[in-house]
Amino acid sequence: MNNLIALLQQETSDMNSTLDLGCGDGRFTKRLNLENYLGVDIYQPELDELKLTHNVVQLDITNLSIFVDKSFDCVMAVDVVEHLKKKDALNLIVSMERIARKKVIIVTPEGYLEQTPYESGMDPSEYQRHLTGFSLEELKHLGYRLLDRIPGDDIHNRKWNGLFVVKEFKWNQ
């Protein structure tokens, strides 16, 4: 997890605003020094602790129409897209790209990694279930570049890799 935090810090350090989709309890973002941060999650119990120190809003991330185009320097989804159906995950990525001014960060297991709500090691809500997976090739096809593979394991001691991918934009600003 320290490697993930270091990569997130490196990739967000020069961002003036960050939208963190599926932020949960902020287990990653609480360890980052982010300016103009907004965390979004559908599950209120996860937001309760994070809202004490960060700006958060409860919202279904499959509908981000409230955010205007290019309204955040960085939009990130760490361990999020795998919790959506494939179509919803792809639509989320399109929305992230619409909202981002400078970059989109996605961290997700490589391929499909089965996880039930009770295997997450977190609050056992249905939102913790994994519904889909992405290969590196799929993400590259969408224009993302791999920054790192992050090794992980779960409560069953299954070993897996997380993909840390980024897509950067060069808009006329």
Share of the chain above pLDDT 70, in %: 88
Quote the pLDDT of residue 116: 63
| Average pLDDT for the chain | 89
pLDDT band at 113 (very low <50, low <70, confident <90, very high): confident
Quote the pLDDT of residue 112: 77
30 or 129, which is more confident: 30
Stated as kind and residue range, the H or E segment containing 73 is strand 72-78
Measured at the CA of 151, the angle between CA 145 and CA 153, to 5 degrees, comes to: 135
Q: List, for residues 50-104, the tens digit of each pLDDT value.
A: 999 999 999 999 999 999 999 999 999 999 999 899 999 999 999 999 999 999 9
Where do the H-state alpha helices sit in 101-145? 136-141
Ordered by where they begin, the domains of the chain are 2-168 (3.40.50.150)
Quote the pLDDT of residue 118: 60
1 CB-near residues (< 8 Å, 6+ apart) = none
Quote the pLDDT of residue 170: 84
* Cβ-count burial 43-79 (b if 16+ within 10 Å, e if not): beebbeebeeebebeeeebeebeebeeeebbbbbbbb
161 or 96, which is more confident: 96
Quote the pLDDT of residue 97: 98
Share of the chain above pLDDT 90, in %: 65
* Cβ-count burial 10-30 (b if 16+ within 10 Å, e if not): ebbeebebbbbbbbbbbbbbe
